[in-house]
Structure 1
Amino acid sequence: MPEPWSNEQFMAQLRKVGESRYHDKHPYHVRMHEGKLSPEQVRGWVANRFYYQKNIPVKDALILSKLPSREDRRDWIQRIIDHDGRGDDEGGIEAWVRLGEAVGIPREEMLDERHVLPAVRFAVDAYVNFCRLRPWPEAVASSLTELFAPTLVSSRIGVFEKLYPWIRPEGLEYFRARLQQAPRDADQGVGLVMRECKTRKEQEAAVAALSFKCDVLWALLDALSLAYPDEENRA
Structure 2
Amino acid sequence: MTCTGLSRTVTALNDEWSTLADEPAPLSWRAVPALPLGTLGDVLAGVRSAPDTVLLALLGLQAEGDALAGRVVVQAMLPKMILMAVRDDGADVDDYLAALWVRVATYPVARRPRRVAANLALDTLKSVKATRPRAVMALPGGPVPDPLADATTVLDAGVRLGAIDGLTRRTLEVVYVDGRSSSAAGAVLGMSAETVRWRCSKGVRALRAVAHELTDLLAG
Query: Relative CO higher for 1 or 2, CA cutoff 8 Å, sep ≥ 6?
Result: 1
**TM-score normalised according to structure 2 size:** 0.29
**TM-score normalised according to structure 1 size:** 0.28
User: Which structure features the higher share of helix residues?
Assistant: 1
